[in-house]
Structure 1
């Protein structure tokens, strides 16, 4: 493997960063879809208005879900133990997310098939569920990562999850879910202000501003809770980034406040939570001023900063264990082989720019406002 220009530790760190990029890409790109779906029953009062709202995301929502697929694929290939534990331990939660996401294409396609008010309202609420439930559950999952997940490994390195679905719904995890839901609603509202005018944009700005303020407050509350009451994790043994992956070759301690240690050791990381709050507050202000694009950038910055806040806090952990702390997964002991990481990095260097270029082209083609005329004059409109 002398032809690989990076050492194992560097490859692992690069893939930790790439995983963060993919998660941020999903939150920013598919996040406004979820937010618009959540807002649909509230910002649109008539069928004409609801058609406009649906068509603001109709041409792009499928492409945006590529980021979810990329994130899941990256976890599967780069960090197989993380994929095995999280996708099996959070099985019912993942199934709930998939069920909600499946409602989106069905809702888009079926709501206009029958000219009946109750029929259309039913699918409008299905689109609401398809937006709100994933937005909430994704946040709940992040909250459980911060709390630690009940799993351990057998001597043969077979992962064993010992928790249950309802055990995931702790007060702190639900708080994290509300942070996610609030910020994604404000993100969707910013897109509606960009793409619509009149009563829809006015209602979206009002609801989005309130959601952004709620997201900022809840994010601060979650941070105080983590600093004062949530037990964090710390690797106490010597870390060798070049060793073969084995999550049992370390010792881990668990104490309240340990999640704040990285911020003390690297003060520059405090920029992430500061931007998380500042971005949400800026989005709230800009939405009230009807400055949609600026609000969208601010809410996207807040979402990215919140994800970075979690990543910086738990580094180098990927998924800590609450029942067997020594078995917690870190990027140093849960990654694929150097060859796998290198080949994947080459593939990413080729295909990720293509995804970005194609996405940029699609949004350029689909630019412009959505109104009654554009919806009624387009035969493929929902």
Structure 2
């Protein structure tokens, strides 16, 4: 660990990657008459736990004293450590997962970082802003993360890695052996696990921290408990690394509120129900999407499915291509996420559909079939 610790320092130089532009909005007249069902977000399809609502209302109506806020700030690392099965000293608390990633990236001196693509644009943006050099690593069919040895055979060199478990938008889990290979080959490896709670049996890499001081795991409760307006995330790492990240990371807006929600989430009954539902809904959604003419899907292991729409020349369908299909879905009140600005994805070729409840999923598939059929 001494060698790794010697390389830890804050950096702030590097080119800022362009931020994605905001998507086009429908005219006000169209927005007003649509009953929206959002299939673009990867949040928990069951929403917040029932206990969160009253706690949010109570804490927002009653002013939080500075003392309560300080006490909560001291409690949160222990609460997160208990949740993720690590020592409190291994926890660096932050707001959004992107905020945490930015702090992690700035905690290391510049390296050449392998980033398997497709991936979130925020990875390259955060790493590039911190001065790291990005090496995009294309994946094979199915977008499984290639092993380091395969990357070497491509003629690509790197000494650090940015991985995800599950990957977005490919919805694939990271194989444990693949991660071990990267840990052996790299000075440090970051694993983004913000969506792992909503997968088909995904296992966190946090249990490997004791044996690998060059591993940093990013976790978040935002997707897990459908809290987009109150982000709470963290980095799990060797204590020396976590301490450095803690000095740089952006803190949650309210430590008192975050601590209260963490305590309410401890039983995990809500998450258990969510996982049980997704065990049937993820395969169901894949099957139904694959049966729509012109739609091709990639195997999904998380609560979203990567798709393409490419009707053959002999197929007379109600949408011309992927952008046309996405626009028509949005006009009917079913936003999906376009992947035009996703590293490793050709513009206008793919989109991502989240997995919701059976009732919502059936409504989406029905609308999709109607559009493709030209009705």
Same fold (TM over 0.5): no
TM score, norm. by length of structure 2 = 0.25
TM-score by length of 1: 0.25
Comparing both structures, which one devotes a greater share of its residues to strand?
2
Bigger helix share: 1
